[in-house]
Amino acid sequence: MPEFQEKSPVRGREQLTPDVCRLTLHAPKIAEHARPGQFVMVRAGATLDPLLRRPFSIHKATGDGLVTILFKVIGKGTRLLAAASESTEIDLIGPLGRGFDTTVAGPHCLIGGGMGIAPLYFLAERLMRAGRQAANPPVLLGAQTQAELMLLAEEFTELGYAVLTATDDGTIGHHGFVTELLDDILQEVQQVYVCGPMPMMRTVALKCRAAGTACQVSLETHMACGLGACLGCTYPASGGGYLHVCKDGPVLAAEEVAWTL
């Protein structure tokens, strides 16, 4: 898979909540080659602090050369990125890693928790564009509060998805875990795509295994290089040994993963 390094001017910045931000960048080569589930390694500031690039899922990639990332501010790198203004140039390397297999036939369901929703929008858009989907496939979105979900839920609806939501505080949708919404629809789907916190993905993987439903998960580990060089992103594999999430993943079949958390 081709990888590119692009100095990418910011073309759009949206503040979805006080700590969730969306940046749209002009990175034409990455946009052209990106597949849903892949990620970019982002240089977060203009200086050597922070030294390491930060990984972010590709949230959108469009034909006009734009790549969008959606992120929550949790530390120095994301704080610097959130402070970027239009025309700031941000250095990206990508598209990286193994994305979702979108060729699977049959009804599907998407499940996203927190910032795990980011790669699912790109996936949803490509699945719909491929035109092999039944009308209104379900997407289950979980977040801490209503504010994190509102715009994203609207955008999935515009794509033609039936959106079901869950929030930790009950401000919208189901009051509780998004995984609890899966039980009612699991029998109707043949493929589940999930991205979110590890305990959530583990729960989904185990439910899918019990139901005999295929499940693809997008793992998140600490990544120093994102390129297969530092071996810092390992996670135990079900067959023994370790997966290198940046190269073997981040998207994996759920049965490839030893769910140790």
Ligand X SMILES: Cc1cc2nc3c(=O)[nH]c(=O)nc-3n(C[C@H](O)[C@H](O)[C@H](O)COP(=O)(O)OP(=O)(O)OC[C@H]3O[C@@H](n4cnc5c(N)ncnc54)[C@H](O)[C@@H]3O)c2cc1C
Q: Which does 228 bind (CB under 5 to 8 A by kind): ligand X, ligand FES, none?
A: ligand FES
Judged by beta carbon, residue 15 or residue 136, the one nearer ligand X is 15
If one asks whether residue 77 binds ligand X (CB under 6 A), the answer comes out as: yes
Q: Compute the distance between CA of residue 17 and CA of residue 22 in angstroms, rounded to an integer.
A: 10
**What is the closest distance, in whole angstroms, from the C-beta atom of residue 39 to ligand FES in the complex?**
11
If one asks whether residue 12 binds ligand FES (CB under 6 A), the answer comes out as: no
Over the window 238 to 257, marking each residue x when it contacts ligand X by CB under 6 A and - when it does not, the resulting string is ------------x-------
**What is the closest distance, in whole angstroms, from the C-beta atom of residue 152 to ligand X in the complex?**
12
**What is the closest distance, in whole angstroms, from the C-beta atom of residue 195 to ligand X in the complex?**
8
**What is the closest distance, in whole angstroms, from the C-beta atom of residue 63 to ligand FES in the complex?**
30
If one asks whether residue 250 binds ligand FES (CB under 6 A), the answer comes out as: no
Residues of span 189-248 touching ligand FES by CB under 6 A: 223-226, 228-233, 244, 246
**Residue holding tokens 């930790």?**
168
90: tokens are 């941000």
Q: Which does 50 bind (CB under 5 to 8 A by kind): ligand X, ligand FES, none?
A: ligand X
Q: Which does 70 bind (CB under 5 to 8 A by kind): ligand FES, ligand X, none?
A: ligand X
Q: Which stretch binds ligand X (CB under 6 A): 63-71, 144-152, 176-184, 205-213?
A: 63-71
**What is the closest distance, in whole angstroms, from the C-beta atom of residue 219 to ligand FES in the complex?**
11
Secondary structure of the chain in the HEC alphabet?
A: CCCEEEEEEEEEEEEEECCEEEEEEECHHHHHHCCCCCEEEECCCCCCCCCCCEEEECCEECCCCEEEEEEECCCHHHHHHHCCCCCCEEEEEEEECECCCCCCCCCEEEEEEHHHHHHHHHHHHHHHHHCCCCCCCEEEEEECCHHHHHHHHHHHHHHCCEEEEEECCCCCCEECCHHHHCCCCHHHCCEEEEECCHHHHHHHHHHHHHHCCEEEEECCCCCCCCCCCCCCCEEEECCCCEEEHHHHCEEEEHHHECCCC
If one asks whether residue 232 binds ligand X (CB under 6 A), the answer comes out as: no
If one asks whether residue 132 binds ligand X (CB under 6 A), the answer comes out as: no
Burial tier of 217 (Cβ tally within 10 Å: 0-12, 13-18, 19+): buried
Judged by beta carbon, residue 93 or residue 117, the one nearer ligand FES is 93
Where does 45-116 have alpha helices with state H? 76-82
If one asks whether residue 197 binds ligand X (CB under 6 A), the answer comes out as: no
**Residues of this chain that bind ligand FES (CB under 6 A):** 223-226, 228-233, 244, 246
**Residues of this chain that bind ligand X (CB under 6 A):** 39, 50, 54-57, 69-72, 74-78, 115, 118, 220-223, 250
